[in-house]
Chains A and B, each alone.
Chain A
Amino acid sequence: MIEAILLLLLILLAIVAVETQILRMAVVFLGIFSLLLSFLYLYYGAPDVAIAEAVMASGLVTLLYLTALKRYRVYNICFTNQMFREVDDRYIVEGTRRGQLLHEVEQFCISKELEPQIVFTPEDLETLMGTRKYDLIIRQEGDQLTIYGSQENYFVDELEMLLILRYQDLNTRFMRYAEDGSFVEES
């Protein structure tokens, strides 16, 4: 009975760990998986292997994965401007107030231990949203700057606070999108 429950839980946890979107949770599920596996070893009468499994897989490997996750996270930012067919980095970066905003976003990412990676494209919003490659999309239409961020990403909230405090003169607004790509109304 215990054996059957443990084996079924193992399969369930493995599937959940693979299917989870958030990597940190997947690591935690793998830790629980290893712990249950060590219980199973103990049940089968192999306490030596159980100790090794519990210490190595559920302690060391989890710590190693967490260190790796904490250290290296790339934050993809996309700056899109459909008005200009030819994209020129200098137009955005040099000296202007918008360049300052972009710089501020970069600094914010670095302070959060994310590695900012900014891409400039002339593509339209639908294509960019469809690829799902970007965590933050900044779109310029004439004077209007719109920043699209995922609803579940809590960095976007902090970024919004920061930008609203410092860049009131720019015509900036924030949009959130849900997991399925539909926009969420700002409350």
Chain B
Amino acid sequence: MKQKASIVSSITGLLYPFIIVFGIYVILNGHDTPGGGFQGGAILAVLFIGRYIVAHTDDFNIGRAHNTEKALLVVLILVPVVFVFGSLSRRFPQYNQVYLVFMNLLIGFKVALGLTVVVFRYAFYEDR
């Protein structure tokens, strides 16, 4: 499997920016339209995994991605604990939209990193 399928790899190369833009669009508009952090994050994860399937890159640092994901989880727990459970959301209603967009971004990046780590770990393990 060392040789690349040139048609598939060039088409995927053309598609990368569109997938990135679509994923970030789904994340950023999650509070107004269908979609949200989880779905957009999964789309971004498909980007990384498709890149692995096509080009067999192994320059993805699993350890760093995992640590980033843990840090994102801490922020992900802290922000709603302060904002929603501390009832700041009722006291400052003008920040509600900012909170929603921020949470969607956090969830999106966390899910993207998590799914990518799962699939890459699995692929590298089977790659032995």
A and B touch in the complex (CB under 8 A): yes
- A residues near B (Cβ < 8 Å) are 47-48, 50-52, 55-56, 59-60, 63-64, 66-68, 70-72, 113
How far does the alpha carbon of A85 sit from the alpha carbon of B97 in the complex, in Å? 80
| B36 A55 Cβ-Cβ under 8 A | no
Report Cα–Cα, A59/B35, bound state, in Å.
16
Query: Is B53 an interface residue when CB atoms closer than 8 A count as contact?
Result: yes
Stretch binding the partner chain, chosen from B8-16, B37-45, B64-72, B73-81: B37-45
Q: Known contacts being A67-B53, A71-B127, is A60 close to B46, with CB within 8 Å?
A: yes
Question: Do most interface residues of chain B lie in helix, strand or loop, or is the interface mixed?
Answer: helix
From known contacts A55-B39, A59-B46, infer whether A68 and B126 are also in contact, taking CB-CB under 8 Å. Answer: yes
Instruction: Return chain B residues, CB-CB under 8 Å to A66.
Output: 53
B-side interface residues toward A, CB under 8 Å? 1, 26, 34-36, 38-39, 42-43, 45-46, 49-50, 53, 115, 119, 122-123, 126-127
Beyond A63-B49, A67-B126, list 9 extra A-B contacts (CB 8 Å). A47-B34, A51-B34, A51-B35, A52-B38, A55-B39, A56-B42, A60-B45, A60-B115, A66-B53
Q: Which residues of A contact B39 (CB under 8 A)?
A: 48, 51-52, 55
With contacts A55-B39, A59-B46 taken as known, whether A64 is within 8 angstroms of B122 at the C-beta atoms is: yes
Q: In the complex, which of the residues A47, A50, A67, A113 contacts B123, with contact meaning CB atoms closer than 8 Å?
A: A67
* Bound Cα distance A127, B122 (Å): 38
Contacts of B46 in A (CB 8 A): 55, 59-60, 63
